[in-house]
Structure 1
């Protein structure tokens, strides 16, 4: 055997040596044949197609050449395969790319007719013709197609060739490919086509002009029914199936493609244009959220609010499960703008991040009293939404009520630079200017962010708590991963670590408990109508000028983010987070499965005794309660507001040994706030007890009992003019701990008047530096310098 093989190759080598020219020509011809077929047959652009996590079509963007050409599917459905093979090329699975018998019959028939009345092309040859842009039919072109079709048979399998045909065959108008044709003419995916529908599409590439609503119906039906009869005769379908198939109506009005998530389609097209992308979108949830968006758009547009956005995240996987980038508005109101990625003023939506950061750093405890008094810092004068003051408010209540002044004072204590760094760790990408640019306004909407980044941040915080509890106090190094909309994407959350990623689980859990209490920035009862029976940690925000209304909420599995407003930036008086965005938020949450509330991350918490009134770590003289605090909470200060005071036996007067014998002195712990805080605090808390006055005759009994509310230290005050160009006075304000006290006012040591009970004094000083002096009847005195600018 080996000898025969050796002899065979020896003879061939000798032949080549004797016939060098023929051999070279043969080799060149073989090389030409091998490389004659382009490596890529079809270079046409495809439509961008997105599907739900179950494979339903969500939307498509037409190809750049104006054709509706979907990317090829993995395989051609069996029904269409049988139909197209029996209609176009019965011997498809048996020929080498061309059919000599069919070619001869077509040649004879066309010659008799004097024109082309029949084609002899196989499906393989039709694929070649489609790839060559349907060049003019000539005998030379036919020869080229024949050669290339045989080459294609060597390169690709029969099924692959059929896939190419189905993906690029014309189906009338600008419809190309089976997948688009099945959507366009029957409104279903190709694998859902019936036998009649498959037969209809199988005959179309042979005569695509037959598809025209109301015309050519008899011709199209005749071609379809003849194909169905052939399938019956070939035992592909049975008689009953045949009878049912020929009774099916032909396609009439073309079906519109679904536009279930048009703005997600825009996002996908930016990076994956011309591809078919299976997304993480839950189509049923998306449709319901679209209905909610449409309902509220119809409500809000009556107040000239024309845009909204809604994003729903599965925090476990970080997958986007619903994406509504804008309201179903019109082009005049920028319906094509994807608001989810657009930078907008944050309003109060960053406050929970500051609160969590301060808890985590041991800067405060959940119940720590924060000042809520008139405040001016370097010319910046924050105000609460309802223009009132509480004097002092627990930090968690300041968050749940979204009070602005406490938030600014908390940021001042925490540090703008430190908070800015925290936001950079969260990758809030639109907060990109230097910290000094934002200043203290950073916490009240002085910066911009977008719904995508904010929802990603809250989703990561939620996942931090869940993972910590489920994995014995461990974190993941990449917990704050990017959101994902691609199906089967393997999210990388990094390695396990006992070191927190950005925030500790305990601080986040305490923050969510505060957010669950429901914030009411308008101080009304409207919130109760939007409350849900399920527990949700949520926060609203309203930007300056009522331009943006935010609501972001989370339970232990999902994050929902809502933005309401105008893409143009136009504000509307009634547009607020609690009245506009919150109703949408809770309606979306009601579509989601119910979840249990977060379990406390005990490994990152410690039970401590805190002062019941001040929220600080308890000192010996405080009434105490036990509370969960972050581990770093132990470094916060002890209560500064409880003091031991000496009273007489009646407890009506404070005394000392100069006016009362030692055996008659009673010592008691007393909760004492600074004068300005006390002034507002006691009006909100009827149980607050001001310090009793000193008993007459007590020596060294003077204490600081008053303070300036306005102006603050070294303030620069600009005097304004009214419409008549009259300079308006500045109103000086003082708080005194004794309600009925009378105080005396001096401007540059010149007496200007007295006040009683309510201590406000209007003055109109000249430009320059002035000194304000205030004295009460007991001789207590306070002074403040101000700079007046007219």
Structure 2
């Protein structure tokens, strides 16, 4: 140590120079050798290539890969640098031989560079190949050998070597020239790629085939001589043909690639996509596109989620259409009119809040709210329909009436908690059309919401009847991202499990479309809760279904918003939905959440909790919140004579001859339409004429609707057609007197319809029955 100190004192300048040179040597090699832009590459869940986007500089250059196939590693070492694992970064013998040969020829005939030197040269683009530059390469190569392992140096080379044209790196070359992963290449294919970087500007597939073949076969001969391959392998290898032209890279999920590129440009990203399923869903979409395009319907999107992991397992953002029809637009996250697809959320909300039981009768009659006049798809009315049936048949009028009764703000609050990002305005902006397509949403958010509901049921059944705090989380298409469902809690996140289960039970019973035409009986071997939707103007067709394990969402339409006849959810989106479900494994149905339910007596006819007057009941499990719903209001106890022909009371009949009977009675307007679909509905018997006492009656208008503007067409003779006024009366045998603008225009009995010819302008109809009951309605006759 003393001697060293003395030496430093005597040779300060020399030591300083050595120290400086040593520091320079340590720092001469950049930390990041290669800074070239790389392609964005996505792989499936089992790491198979499903898509790639060319790098910004126009090169197919995949991100750096530390993994090198053994065959290629062997070939490249045998061809370029046999002493790779023995030298310190340069090979003096090779350099001497190259120098001697170059001096004799008067030009550069031989390089003598090791693979390590070639890595340095590749990283120092644009440098002239001079002896001084070669010296720099040697110095940097030794520094690289000290810093990185031999395997890492080989990885640098295989990821950045040129392979002809705009192909850089082994991974890209393997796909471009052989259409498969480098790990799957044969000895002949690996040898072909090993010799390409040696002269990429001169030798590449499709040209100079003889020179390329000779180089490859010489390498294979060397492998045989070094007993790396046997004679049979050699004979089979030299018989293999050379690639003729580059293959297009796989584009199995092009729209997902677009989405990944937004946040992971130039990266290799492992996704959650199931490649086999993705390819089969692509085929389904293409098949339906070929049919739909005949009707000028060009775009379709499909999303498939795994409920338990909340992973995206298939992602089809659009059809294989052309640029004129926006084939590159990813529709999955684009806002579109929802149609009826939000109806199940209203049904679940009303169940959850205790405002409804699954089969409670709701009114299905002509309805008007100010200027808003909802109509059913087929323009008919049932009078009264079970709420679950109104949902499964996607009836508009009952749903709007349910929304009006439930409260627009309350429903809007539920929807906001679903985190539908396209729900940007306040509740009043959407109005009562909120449940019929007045709002916009996207396939991603809708599938996410259905997956959250299904997962809520699964977790409730699998745990000790508990919920998770982060159930309504975002799905993921990144394999590296694990979904955090939060902590367990005894309180519901949004909807209780029973409300979700009962909603799904209704959706499982969907067995007819929104109209009675063009219906197909879908495969019922799979138990699926599903719903369709069609936006106003036939611009958007939806179908979303869920099982215990999967959610499938489908949107069909035109990306530019053009509507088309026949663009209806059940006719265009539902067939795709079921074709996709046919690709998925069957699932058991959801377990019934008994801890959130209670068995009660339900009136069969009304769906309400049975009142003492209900004589036809059944025991059904309902959600606990449903216990606060009112008992059946439609069954009343009446007094009839022995033959049940007339209602009587003590003023006209002996008590011994009076029978007490429960009777199912609907309000007049509901009864008017209900009778047309339910021929066994029996109206209340008339009171016998000799009976005294108060007789309650009710009247309701069938036509015109409140504040309606009516146009009366003319017939062939030029005469204006009559306006037919209609009412429903609880005692149709009563006489009703009609007035238009306080002018008497006639009376009716039994059938309460009257033809009038009012003049243009606003009018007031007044009807008065013989008991003095009165009702008024305003309307307007337009040009």
Whether the TM-score (by the shorter chain) exceeds 0.5 is yes
Do the aligned residues in 2 keep the contact of 1:310 with 1:325 (CA within 8 Å)? yes
Aligned to 1:3: none
What does the per-residue CA deviation read over 1:706-725, in whole Å, with 9 as the maximum and x for residues that have no partner? 2123455xx44445587999
Return the alpha-carbon distance in structure 1 between the equivalents of residues 460 and 756 of structure 2: 58
Is residue 540 of structure 1 aligned with residue 529 of structure 2?
Answer: no
**What is the deviation of 1:604?**
1.1
Aligned to 2:406: 414
Do the aligned residues in 1 keep the contact of 2:722 with 2:755 (CA within 8 Å)? no
Aligned to 1:489: 481
What does the per-residue CA deviation read over 1:345-374, in whole Å, with 9 as the maximum and x for residues that have no partner? 110011111111111110100110000000
Aligned to 1:660: 653
**What is the deviation of 1:530?**
2.6
Aligned to 1:425: 417
Aligned to 2:440: 448
**What is the deviation of 1:481?**
1.8
Q: Tell me, what secondary structure is at the counterpart of 2:197?
A: coil
What does the per-residue CA deviation read over 1:744-764, in whole Å, with 9 as the maximum and x for residues that have no partner? 321221113445625265564
Q: Tell me, what secondary structure is at the counterpart of 2:98?
A: helix
Return the alpha-carbon distance in structure 2 between the equivalents of residues 727 and 442 of structure 1: 38
Aligned to 1:75: 67
Aligned to 2:4: 12
Q: 1:295 to 1:723 in 2, by over 3 A?
A: farther
Q: 1:79 to 1:772 in 2, by over 3 A?
A: same
Return the alpha-carbon distance in structure 1 between the equivalents of residues 92 and 253 of structure 2: 51
Matches within 5 A, 1:444-483: 444-483=436-475
Return the alpha-carbon distance in structure 2 between the equivalents of residues 435 and 338 of structure 1: 28
Aligned residue pairs total 779
**What is the deviation of 1:659?**
2.6
Return the alpha-carbon distance in structure 2 between the equivalents of residues 730 and 410 of structure 1: 31
**What is the deviation of 1:218?**
1.2
Aligned partner of 2:279 among 275, 282, 287: 287
Q: 1:58 to 1:729 in 2, by over 3 A?
A: farther
What does the per-residue CA deviation read over 1:274-331, in whole Å, with 9 as the maximum and x for residues that have no partner? 1111111111111111111111101111011111111111111111111111111111
What does the per-residue CA deviation read over 1:456-512, in whole Å, with 9 as the maximum and x for residues that have no partner? 111111111111111121111111221111225321111111111111111111111
Aligned to 1:44: 36
Aligned to 1:391: 383
**What is the deviation of 1:631?**
0.7
Is residue 771 of structure 1 aligned with residue 764 of structure 2?
Answer: yes
Do the aligned residues in 1 keep the contact of 2:206 with 2:243 (CA within 8 Å)? no
Aligned to 1:250: 242
Aligned to 1:743: 736
Return the alpha-carbon distance in structure 2 between the equivalents of residues 519 and 371 of structure 1: 21
Aligned to 1:229: 221
Matches within 5 A, 1:299-318: 299-318=291-310
Q: Tell me, what secondary structure is at the counterpart of 1:33?
A: helix
Q: Tell me, what secondary structure is at the counterpart of 1:489?
A: coil
Aligned partner of 1:65 among 57, 70, 94: 57
- Select between 13-22 and 586-595 the one with higher mean Cα deviation: 13-22
Do the aligned residues in 2 keep the contact of 1:552 with 1:585 (CA within 8 Å)? yes
Return the alpha-carbon distance in structure 1 between the equivalents of residues 339 and 115 of structure 2: 63
Matches within 5 A, 1:66-105: 66-105=58-97
What does the per-residue CA deviation read over 1:533-558, in whole Å, with 9 as the maximum and x for residues that have no partner? 21111111111011111111111111
Return the alpha-carbon distance in structure 1 between the equivalents of residues 267 and 653 of structure 2: 91
Matches within 5 A, 1:261-276: 261-276=253-268
Return the alpha-carbon distance in structure 1 between the equivalents of residues 748 and 538 of structure 2: 38
Aligned to 2:699: 706
Matches within 5 A, 1:747-762: 747-755=740-748, 757=751, 759=753, 761=755
Return the alpha-carbon distance in structure 2 between the equivalents of residues 452 and 640 of structure 1: 42
Return the alpha-carbon distance in structure 1 between the equivalents of residues 512 and 331 of structure 2: 25
Aligned to 1:633: 626
Return the alpha-carbon distance in structure 1 between the equivalents of residues 211 and 456 of structure 2: 65
**What is the deviation of 1:785?**
4.7
Return the alpha-carbon distance in structure 1 between the equivalents of residues 754 and 63 of structure 2: 75
**What is the deviation of 1:412?**
1.1
Return the alpha-carbon distance in structure 1 between the equivalents of residues 725 and 324 of structure 2: 50
What does the per-residue CA deviation read over 1:252-292, in whole Å, with 9 as the maximum and x for residues that have no partner? 13222111111111111111111111111111111111111
Return the alpha-carbon distance in structure 1 between the equivalents of residues 245 and 724 of structure 2: 74
Aligned partner of 1:619 among 592, 598, 611: 611
Consecutive unaligned residues of structure 2, counting only runs of 5 or more, are none
Is residue 372 of structure 1 aligned with residue 372 of structure 2?
Answer: no
Q: 1:531 to 1:742 in 2, by over 3 A?
A: farther
Return the alpha-carbon distance in structure 1 between the equivalents of residues 656 and 777 of structure 2: 42
What does the per-residue CA deviation read over 1:631-674, in whole Å, with 9 as the maximum and x for residues that have no partner? 11101111111111122222211122333333332221111111
Consecutive unaligned residues of structure 1, counting only runs of 5 or more, are 1-8
Return the alpha-carbon distance in structure 1 between the equivalents of residues 328 and 719 of structure 2: 50
Matches within 5 A, 1:506-545: 506-524=498-516, 526-545=518-537
Aligned partner of 1:23 among 15, 22, 34: 15
Do the aligned residues in 2 keep the contact of 1:76 with 1:166 (CA within 8 Å)? yes
Is residue 605 of structure 1 aligned with residue 591 of structure 2?
Answer: no
Q: 1:11 to 1:728 in 2, by over 3 A?
A: farther
- Select between 312-321 and 519-528 the one with higher mean Cα deviation: 519-528
Aligned to 2:545: 553
Do the aligned residues in 1 keep the contact of 2:365 with 2:669 (CA within 8 Å)? yes
CA RMSD of aligned residues (A): 2.2
Do the aligned residues in 1 keep the contact of 2:159 with 2:170 (CA within 8 Å)? yes
Q: Tell me, what secondary structure is at the counterpart of 2:332?
A: helix
Return the alpha-carbon distance in structure 2 between the equivalents of residues 453 and 559 of structure 1: 12
Return the alpha-carbon distance in structure 1 between the equivalents of residues 754 and 36 of structure 2: 78
Q: 1:554 to 1:527 in 2, by over 3 A?
A: farther
Is residue 684 of structure 1 aligned with residue 693 of structure 2?
Answer: no
Return the alpha-carbon distance in structure 2 between the equivalents of residues 614 and 735 of structure 1: 21
- Select between 619-628 and 694-703 the one with higher mean Cα deviation: 694-703
Return the alpha-carbon distance in structure 2 between the equivalents of residues 213 and 132 of structure 1: 26
Q: Tell me, what secondary structure is at the counterpart of 1:708?
A: strand
**What is the deviation of 1:570?**
0.7
Return the alpha-carbon distance in structure 2 between the equivalents of residues 90 and 749 of structure 1: 111
What does the per-residue CA deviation read over 1:158-184, in whole Å, with 9 as the maximum and x for residues that have no partner? 110110000000000000000110111
Aligned partner of 1:277 among 269, 279, 285: 269
